[in-house]
Structure 1
Amino acid sequence: MQPGRGIALKLVSVLLFIVMASLVKATSGHVPPGQAVFFRSFFAMPIIVVWLAARGDLSTGFRVESRIAHVWRGLIGTAAMGCGFAALGLLPLPEVTAIGYAAPLMTVLFAAALLGERLRLFRLTAVGIGLVGVLVILWPKLSLGDPTDLAVIGAGLALASAALRALAQIQIRRMVQHEETSAIVFYFSLSATGFALLTAPFGWVWPAPWEAGLLIAAGLIGGVAQIFLTSAYRFADASVVAPFDYASMLFALAIGYAIFDEVPTWPMLAGAALIILAGVVIVWREQRIGLARGKAREGLTPHG
């Protein structure tokens, strides 16, 4: 194990995913979310294929044990990505990032309900604290009292994305028992590309050259970020690198302020602090009780 290298890889992947989200956000005023998912997934595939070939894992990356498992993982992950990209067009980047931190909290609940994992009082309390943080972020929008307000819709989409990512994590935990991580990563990009194409009749547009350039860059950067993320778990335990997910808040705050002129609100910062605290406590607790999450985390991205 090389924990320093693993942490460095994780931080680079986190930064790249935030840059990718920023590129998608920059085009969200004109390009529909489903079309953005297509670009993100399609242009990530060549990067992933080259990476698999360089590692000598091309054969395992194409090998499938359960097609239906990959279909479900692709469907859930594509829906999560679509909701997340739609939320980016309606909310500030730091808020979408903060609400997304609810995904690991929901994973704990879903694991208890769907996988039969024991939900001890300590972890349940941490989840409760995190969900209070989510409510703190959402409260200014919920208090508007207008369910058609764009901010309310954006918050709902961000929360739906987090819930779907949690379900994707559960699906991946099942899959890693018989599927290679490389296959999970490759077939997610492939299936997400296919599912995204199905949204074409619902309003795809012809992007301007600069929009197409940003979306292609988002796909390429997303593919590189996935490689760095997967590699991070090969050099360090999940309990070591997982807390560095929350560095994305620093990157999101900086990019949101510098590029999109987004000033964070105190409820967003307070809620994010509670969610991050809960997430770190859960990772620490899972390490103490010996729960293995590394292989499942390798196959998941912050957007699906």
Structure 2
Amino acid sequence: MESVLRNPMRGILMKVSSVVVFLCMQTFIKLAGTDVAPGQVTFYRSFFALFPIMAYLAYRGQLKAAFYTANPIGHVKRGTIGIVSMGFGFYGLMHLPLPEAIALGYATPLIAVIFAAVFLRERVRLYRWSAVFFGIVGVAIVSWPKLTLFRAGGIEAEQALGAICVLMSAVLAGMAMIQVRKLVEEERTATIVLYFSMIASLCSLLTLPFGWYSLDLETTLYLIVAGFCGGVAQILLTESYRHADVSTVAPFEYTSILLGGVIGYVVFGDVPGGHMMVGTAIVVAAGIYIIHREHQLGLERRNAQRAGGGG
């Protein structure tokens, strides 16, 4: 196992950099417009992400080893769930203001806690259940104004459908996180990242007969750049966890709402409403509290193991 010098500040910098690059990816997808099939977007996002990912693994001398897997079925499950989640999320991203799509996406870690309790039999205490409850209330506050637009028809109805799609994406992403937790018990991180991009590319390519659009050069370039950004962001995210604990860097995920708000206003003219700001504050607070509790429980488990080992 490679020894890595821990450098929390470097880890935080890489985490924030990954957030910025992921936001660039989302921005280019929105710039591509709404006349692109979700399967088409997911193909460009997944296939062109492979180039920086494979270059990174080759640079680290891990590319050959990354192709070896003892659990191909597990990767197929994770990839299938992930690509469907991505498709829902991209549809919502294309039809919602950027800050609202980001805020609704914050439901993923809340849902992951629920799934961990149900499927992994993890013990979830009252404090975390309370945080999940209030976080879901925050999600409801953000999404409710959009959901009431169904009866309006036209563009408004598309925004309502977009909100539902982002929430569906969050549910599926929570399921994918559970699958990843199982995979990391026996698989390398590089293998998980590489196989996801490959499987996602193949699965999204299967949607070609169901209505891909003919794209002009500008739209095609937007989607290619979005794919590269997705791969680079994944590399930065992986590197951030090499230099700092998850509990240290994870809260910086929420910088995306601030940066996304700026990009949404400057590039797309999106102005956050009161519901969105209040709901987002609740969701962010709940998410940070869950991260804090996970960190505390991790310390308790390590202390218990040390005490047991010393006994």
Q: Confirm or deny a common fold (TM above 0.5).
A: yes
Pair 1:58-2:55 in alignment: no
Alpha-carbon distance change, 125 to 147 in structure 1, aligned in 2, over 3 angstroms: farther
Query: Which residue pairs with 2:96 in the alignment?
Result: 91
Q: Shift of the alpha carbon at 1:60?
A: 2.3
Q: Matches of residues 7-156 of structure 1 in structure 2 within 5 Å?
A: 7-144=12-149, 146=151, 149-156=157-164
Q: Shift of the alpha carbon at 1:146?
A: 2.6
Residue identity opposite 2:135 in structure 1: G
Q: Shift of the alpha carbon at 1:30?
A: 1.8
Pair 1:206-2:211 in alignment: no
CA distance in 2, matches of 1:145, 1:287: 41
CA distance in 2, matches of 1:74, 1:204: 21
- Classify the secondary structure of the residue corresponding to 2:192: helix
Divergent runs of 4+, >2 A: 141-148
Pair 1:238-2:243 in alignment: no
Q: Shift of the alpha carbon at 1:89?
A: 1.6
Instruction: Using structure 1 for the length normalisation, give the TM-score.
Output: 0.94
Pair 1:269-2:277 in alignment: yes
After superposition, give the CA deviation of every residue in 1:148-202 in whole Å (9 maximum; x if it has no partner): 6212211100000111111110000000001111000001000000010111111
CA distance in 2, matches of 1:144, 1:52: 46
Alpha-carbon distance change, 271 to 171 in structure 1, aligned in 2, over 3 angstroms: same
Query: Which residue pairs with 1:249 in the alignment?
Result: 257
CA distance in 2, matches of 1:168, 1:57: 24
Q: Shift of the alpha carbon at 1:27?
A: 1.2
Alpha-carbon distance change, 118 to 59 in structure 1, aligned in 2, over 3 angstroms: same
Structure 1, 56-65 or 89-98: larger mean CA deviation: 56-65
Kept in 1, the 8 Å contact 2:46–2:201? The answer is yes
Pair 1:226-2:227 in alignment: no
Residue identity opposite 1:142 in structure 2: L
CA distance in 2, matches of 1:14, 1:202: 32
After superposition, give the CA deviation of every residue in 1:200-234 in whole Å (9 maximum; x if it has no partner): 11110121100111111011111111000000000
- Classify the secondary structure of the residue corresponding to 1:290: helix
Residue identity opposite 2:253 in structure 1: D
- Classify the secondary structure of the residue corresponding to 1:146: helix
Query: Which residue pairs with 2:266 in the alignment?
Result: 258
CA distance in 1, matches of 2:192, 2:33: 28
Pair 1:183-2:191 in alignment: yes
- Classify the secondary structure of the residue corresponding to 1:35: helix
Residue identity opposite 2:124 in structure 1: L
Instruction: Using structure 2 for the length normalisation, give the TM-score.
Output: 0.92
Which of 194, 206, 209 is matched with 2:202 structurally?
194
Kept in 2, the 8 Å contact 1:147–1:153? The answer is no
CA distance in 2, matches of 1:46, 1:252: 26
Residue identity opposite 2:188 in structure 1: E
CA distance in 2, matches of 1:132, 1:147: 24
After superposition, give the CA deviation of every residue in 1:237-286 in whole Å (9 maximum; x if it has no partner): 00000000001101110111111111111101111110000000000000
Q: Which runs of 5+ in 2 are unaligned?
A: 1-5, 301-311
Q: Shift of the alpha carbon at 1:39?
A: 0.5
Kept in 1, the 8 Å contact 2:138–2:282? The answer is yes
Structure 1, 136-145 or 281-290: larger mean CA deviation: 136-145
Aligned identity (percent) is 47
Query: Which residue pairs with 1:296 in the alignment?
Result: none
Q: Which runs of 5+ in 1 are unaligned?
A: 293-304
Residue identity opposite 1:24 in structure 2: I
